[in-house]
Structure 1
Amino acid sequence: MSRRKLHERIKLKNVETQHGEQFNDLLRYVFQVTNRDLQTFGWENREIEKSKLPVLRHADVLGWFDGDKLISQLAVYPFQVNIFGQIYDMGGLTGVGTYPEYANLGLMNKLMLHALSNMRNRKQSISYLYPYSIPYYRRKGWEIISDKISFEVPDTQLPKLKNVPGHVERVDIEHPDIKHIYDQFAKLHHGAMLRNELAWEEYLRWDLDDMTAAIYYNNDDLPMGYLLYWVAEEIFHVKEMVYINEEARIGLWNFISAHFSMITLVKGDIYKDEPLSFILDDGDIKETIAPYYMARIVDVALFIEQYPFQSQEKECQLIFNLHDPMLEWNQGTFTLTVDKAGKGHLKEGGTHPAVIIDIPTLTTMLMGYKRPTYLARIGRMQSDEASIQLLEQLISREHPYFSDYF
């Protein structure tokens, strides 16, 4: 069949709950999830398509259909993230896949355009995703905005016990204090997801049945930190460690060190720019850093309206030229005005732009992952020195934290 006839036959429409089995089958095929994988995670007797029904009910799921067959799809989750203390509506892109016999027809590009337009209409001015290919998503306008530091600590290098006034209790992972702690934590950490029920379900979806939790309570019995973990084959696996203050961090590491006689190694991940080696007594441990999540600004005008710039002594202005590989409303010359309180306003137009930049670079810069000086030095944007220094003053210095996966 010719490509023209195939294009005439396929239709773009919403993926609904009745398509749950096809949605799941396409995911499993594209991401090569086998029955053996499902058995490893204790899912062999569960109906996965039913577990994904909340996604199809609450997310914006789009797909191409060849007749009644779902052949290409993506999903956008309705999430929120903390960007320098400002809560943003975020479109979480996931479930991206096309059967190989329908590849190279431009189907995914059209799906993404449609999804990004829907995000803009829903006031989701930024989108996050976990990349299966960083170059592919860079071409679509996303850029790296967070890292994951994986660590391994031998039992002989575990921190020595330190006195803290509180105590640790082991609890079920569904304990309500866990969500209470995380809510406080997310509101304190730039880049973090504010987890709704869908986010929590995605975060815990594929975890082993024997995972458990430990909560640190201070001297007033207030929950101040938690640990999600499991122990297998003498290895203590940390899925997530969240703490509100240093006391809770010490208390949770005391709990891990108390497993000294049971384990030979502690393995886990850190999602912020704080290597574990510096705070250990013996910091000669193995740590591996890798890029983690990517993001892209969906609607630059709305994003800027919400963005908390640093306060200044006087109002300032910057004219820049922006390129977006997909979205026409992010294209062209813009004038940014920031008042003394740090409130920004963007309008189209302006003469003699001082900065030339694309949407991936603008995203990673405004997210604080890479600084303006560095981005200019490596040729990711063109700017005069005065504009670079202005951007350095306007953008807060804090590395994004993001520990979720969807």
Structure 2
Amino acid sequence: MSRQKLHEKLKMKEVEPKHGEQFNNLLRYVFNITNHDLQTVGWENGEIAQAKLPVLEQADVLGWFNGDQLISQLAVYPFQVNIFGKAYEMGGLTGVGTYPEYSNLGLMNKLMRQALANMRDRKQSISYLYPYSIPYYRNKGWEFISDKISFEVKDTQLPKLKNVPGNMERVTIKHADIKRVYDRFALQTHGAMLRSELAWEEYLRWDLEDMIAAIYYDAENQPTGYLLYWIDQEVFYLKEIVFINQESWAGLWNFISAHFSMITKVKGHTYTDEPLAFLLDDGDIKETIIPYYMARIVDVSLFVEQYPFQKQETDGQLTIALHDPMLEWNHGLFTLTVDKSGQGQLVKGGEARDAELDIQTLTTMLMGYKRPSYLARIGRLKANEAAVEVLEQWIRRQHPYFSDYF
């Protein structure tokens, strides 16, 4: 059968809970997940299929079918993120895969276009994803918006104990105060996931059963920080460390340092632009920074309407030529106006252009991951000096934080 005739046989439609086994089989094949891998993190045969059923019930899952066989798929989770203090509806793209015998038919490109159109209909003006192929997703309009800094601290480099008025308590990982602390943290942290039950489920899905949680309570018995961790072969592994203030940071590290006699090192990750080394007495530690999550603006007009620009002394206006490889509604000449209160509006059309860029560059710039002046210097933003300076004044200076995985 020719490739063209094969394509004509295929149909795109929603993936439903009844397709759960096929959904998981495709995921496991594409990402090479074996039964041994599942058992290593505590999953038994069949449990993963059952655990993924809520995804098929809550997410927008699209697929290509050859008859009754699911052969290509993607899923979009209904999430929310904090962007400079505003809660944005976010489409979390995941579960992307196609069986190799159906590759090079353009199936995933069409799935993505439909998924992005569905996101726009649901007012999800931005999409996040973890990239398994950076060039592929860049070509589709996604760009990096967060970093992950992995660190390794020797037992001799652990910070000295500091006097704090509160105390630590070890609890189960599902303790309600963990979510209370995270919710408070996420509401004050640009870029962070506002974790729903589905987001928490995804975040903890692959963790070992012996994960431990510890919460810092201040002098008024209010939870202000927590750790998720485990200890294995004298290594203290930190999955997550969340703190509201410097007092809780000190309390959490006091707790880690109290394991001095049990461990030889601490391994973990941070997701800000502040390396841990500067905060330690002995900052000669190993730190590795890698780009982490990518994002793309789905509906640029809606995104700008929601976006909190910096307040200005006068109203401002720029004409921008925007390129989007996937979405025609984001492509063309636009007029961007920002009033004195920081309220923005983007409308089609305009006179002589002040700036030209693609959707991935606009995304990383408005998210604060890369500044306009830097993007102009490397040629990603083509603009005159006056336009670059205006963008520098409009866009807040805060690096995005994103620690989740889905």
Find the counterpart in structure 2 of residue 322 from structure 1: 322
CA distance in 2, matches of 1:359, 1:135: 15
CA distance in 2, matches of 1:74, 1:306: 27
Find the counterpart in structure 1 of residue 86 from structure 2: 86
CA distance in 2, matches of 1:315, 1:65: 52
Helix, strand or coil at the partner of 1:193:
coil
Per-residue CA deviation, residues 272-301 of structure 1 (Å, 9 max, x unaligned), is 111000000000000000010000000000
Find the counterpart in structure 2 of residue 402 from structure 1: 402
Does structure 1 conserve the Cα–Cα contact (< 8 Å) formed by 2:324 and 2:331? yes
CA distance in 2, matches of 1:395, 1:255: 38
Per-residue CA deviation, residues 137-156 of structure 1 (Å, 9 max, x unaligned), is 00000000000000000000
CA distance in 1, matches of 2:332, 2:101: 37
Q: How does 1:262-273 map to 2 (within 5 A)?
A: 262-273=262-273
Structure 1 position 40, deviation (Å): 1.0
Find the counterpart in structure 1 of residue 350 from structure 2: 350
CA distance in 2, matches of 1:189, 1:353: 34
Per-residue CA deviation, residues 163-194 of structure 1 (Å, 9 max, x unaligned), is 10000000000000000100000000000000
Helix, strand or coil at the partner of 2:184:
helix
Find the counterpart in structure 2 of residue 70 from structure 1: 70
CA distance in 1, matches of 2:47, 2:304: 43
Structure 1 position 4, deviation (Å): 1.7
1:89 maps to a residue whose letter is E
For structure 2, which runs of at least 5 residues remain unmatched after alignment? none
Helix, strand or coil at the partner of 2:179:
helix
Per mean C-alpha deviation after superposition, the further-off stretch among 35-44 and 351-360 is 35-44
CA distance in 2, matches of 1:100, 1:256: 46
CA distance in 1, matches of 2:113, 2:218: 49
CA distance in 1, matches of 2:143, 2:291: 10
Find the counterpart in structure 2 of residue 249 from structure 1: 249
Find the counterpart in structure 2 of residue 313 from structure 1: 313
CA distance in 2, matches of 1:264, 1:58: 43
Structure 1 position 39, deviation (Å): 1.6
Helix, strand or coil at the partner of 1:114:
helix
Per-residue CA deviation, residues 364-388 of structure 1 (Å, 9 max, x unaligned), is 0000000000000000010000000
Helix, strand or coil at the partner of 2:79:
strand
For structure 1, which runs of at least 5 residues remain unmatched after alignment? none
Does structure 1 conserve the Cα–Cα contact (< 8 Å) formed by 2:154 and 2:264? yes
Same amino acid, percent of matched pairs: 74
CA distance in 1, matches of 2:49, 2:36: 17
Q: How does 1:201-212 map to 2 (within 5 A)?
A: 201-212=201-212
Helix, strand or coil at the partner of 2:87:
strand
CA distance in 1, matches of 2:295, 2:304: 15
1:300 aligns with 2:300: yes
Find the counterpart in structure 1 of residue 4 from structure 2: 4
1:392 aligns with 2:392: yes
Structure 1 position 44, deviation (Å): 2.6
1:277 aligns with 2:277: yes
CA distance in 2, matches of 1:381, 1:244: 36
Helix, strand or coil at the partner of 1:317:
strand
Q: How does 1:21-36 map to 2 (within 5 A)?
A: 21-36=21-36
CA distance in 1, matches of 2:288, 2:34: 28
Find the counterpart in structure 2 of residue 371 from structure 1: 371
Per-residue CA deviation, residues 207-245 of structure 1 (Å, 9 max, x unaligned), is 000001000000010000000000000000000000111
Q: How does 1:228-247 map to 2 (within 5 A)?
A: 228-247=228-247
Does structure 1 conserve the Cα–Cα contact (< 8 Å) formed by 2:35 and 2:45? no
Helix, strand or coil at the partner of 1:36:
helix
CA distance in 1, matches of 2:364, 2:220: 41
Find the counterpart in structure 2 of residue 55 from structure 1: 55
Q: TM-score, normalised by structure 2?
A: 0.99
Per mean C-alpha deviation after superposition, the further-off stretch among 172-181 and 2-11 is 2-11
Find the counterpart in structure 1 of residue 198 from structure 2: 198
CA distance in 2, matches of 1:167, 1:120: 46
Does structure 1 conserve the Cα–Cα contact (< 8 Å) formed by 2:160 and 2:257? yes
Helix, strand or coil at the partner of 2:124:
coil
CA distance in 2, matches of 1:38, 1:53: 17
1:18 maps to a residue whose letter is K
1:61 maps to a residue whose letter is V
Find the counterpart in structure 2 of residue 97 from structure 1: 97
Per-residue CA deviation, residues 111-151 of structure 1 (Å, 9 max, x unaligned), is 00000000000000000000001110000000000000000
Q: How does 1:111-260 map to 2 (within 5 A)?
A: 111-260=111-260
2:151 maps to a residue whose letter is F
Per mean C-alpha deviation after superposition, the further-off stretch among 259-268 and 28-37 is 28-37
Find the counterpart in structure 1 of residue 108 from structure 2: 108
1:334 maps to a residue whose letter is F
Cα–Cα, structure 1 residues 241 and 17, in superposed 2: closer, same or farther, change >3 Å?
same
CA distance in 2, matches of 1:133, 1:58: 26
Per mean C-alpha deviation after superposition, the further-off stretch among 195-204 and 31-40 is 31-40
Structure 1 position 46, deviation (Å): 5.0
Q: TM-score, normalised by structure 1?
A: 0.99
CA distance in 2, matches of 1:148, 1:47: 30
2:141 maps to a residue whose letter is G
